[in-house]
Structure 1
Amino acid sequence: MLRYLRSPVLGLVVAVSAGIVPPSRVAARSYPIDCAILLCMAGGFPPSAECTAAQIEVIRRVTPWPIEPPLQLWNCPMGGGGSRPAPHLGSDGLTPEVRQYRDAVEVWELRKRSENSSGGRDVYVSAVRNFYNSEGQFVRQVQNDVPGWVGTAIAEHTGTTFTSEYGSFRAILLRMQDYTGTYSTEWVSY
């Protein structure tokens, strides 16, 4: 029966169902997207099919609303399957290196609308910072001011400043850190 199957995936599913191939062999061939996001983020999203898919998933999670945690480590089994526990794990089950990548992620929801009114020019601005707190929860916090790097990104992508009386935009600004400690940003207008 198996020799007539043309699809390797269908053949694998039939083989697992029939008990010919153990299920653990199937699990080894697939990977959770969050493991790819962690590894690719640490590498600065190098060009590859897996890292491109991981980067697209991160952008999908943070645009436009509702914002989802871009790095969902609870979906990435990092135990390694060994019988010994990994050294240097914190109370959250993460190594300091993994925690560093998680804690460096920031997602800024930025909105600015300028319009003429009978009293002159009205400007409405909104900045919301989404980040992982020290307990690893992804939290949302309204900000009155934006840090310098956010202001620089706004000027670079819109040609205006957050506080000037001209210009309108809606965007997500995502910031991540790679293994060298270098930050990168991703600007997505919507």
Structure 2
Amino acid sequence: MKVKTLGAAACVATAFSFASPAAAYPIDCAILLCLAGGFPASAECSAAKAELIRRITPWPVEPPLQLWRCPMGGHSVSLPGGGGSDSIPPEVAKYRDAIELWQLSKHVTSGSGGRDVYTSTVRYGYAPSSGEWVRFPSNDNALPEWLDDTIRQRTGKGFQDEYGRGFRSIVVRMQDYTGASMTEWVSY
């Protein structure tokens, strides 16, 4: 009787893990799996995406994907700042390394001398050589084309335009298993 109960429990646990694979892993494993799949509609992937967004807003408080918290079948993953070589599989590193985050702010003022526009950009990402979450140099006047297009779609104006309203946002770009880019705009 005990063997049948254990066998039934194992079957139920296995069936549940196949029904919703992200639920059976820590949140960082769920973020990785859902990211690779383009964050499909499911409760687990909605929770994973919400956690990713929570980590980066109102400013990049912590890395969006923390692979050292996700056991990957015997692969060791360096801890941030650990100084060791990054040893995750290349199939996983491509998702991590494709994450690009921009912190943007634009403030427009009007006065007797005309309109003044103050802009600020900060760029974050994972360093391909070490896998650490780092701040990269950025230039308010030389934004990548995809980011300039995203700003124009969201605000109706260019980043340096003196007209339009100001904003503070985080824009994160990620990549799914097909290589397609996904962009999230989060105002704060």
Match of 1:114 in 2: 108
Q: 1:110 touches 1:128 (CA, 8 Å); kept in 2?
A: yes
Q: CA deviation at 1:66?
A: 4.3
Over 6 Å off, 4+ runs: none
Cα distance in 2 for partners of 1:36, 1:109 equals: 25
Match of 1:178 in 2: 176
Identity of aligned residues (%): 60
Cα distance in 2 for partners of 1:118, 1:143 equals: 31
Counting matched residue pairs gives 157
Cα distance in 2 for partners of 1:116, 1:58 equals: 37
**Within the alignment, does 1:32 sit opposite 2:30 as a pair?**
no
TM-score normalised to the size of structure 2? 0.78
Q: 1:127 touches 1:142 (CA, 8 Å); kept in 2?
A: no
Cα distance in 1 for partners of 2:110, 2:171 equals: 27
Match of 2:3 in 1: none
For 1:66-100, what per-residue CA distance to the aligned partner results, in whole angstroms no more than 9, with x for missing partners? 431100001101125xxxx79xxxx4121111000
> Which of 139, 153, 156 lines up with 2:153 in the alignment?
156
Identify unmatched segments of 5+ residues in structure 2. Answer: 1-12, 18-22, 77-84
Q: CA RMSD in A?
A: 2.1
> Which of 86, 89, 94 lines up with 2:88 in the alignment?
94
Identify unmatched segments of 5+ residues in structure 1. Answer: 1-24
**Within the alignment, does 1:41 sit opposite 2:41 as a pair?**
no
Q: Pick closer, same or farther for the CA change 1:126–1:142 going to 2, 3 Å.
A: farther
Amino acid at match of 1:185: T
Amino acid at match of 2:170: I
SS at match of 1:143: coil
For 1:41-79, what per-residue CA distance to the aligned partner results, in whole angstroms no more than 9, with x for missing partners? 000001111111000000101110343110000110112
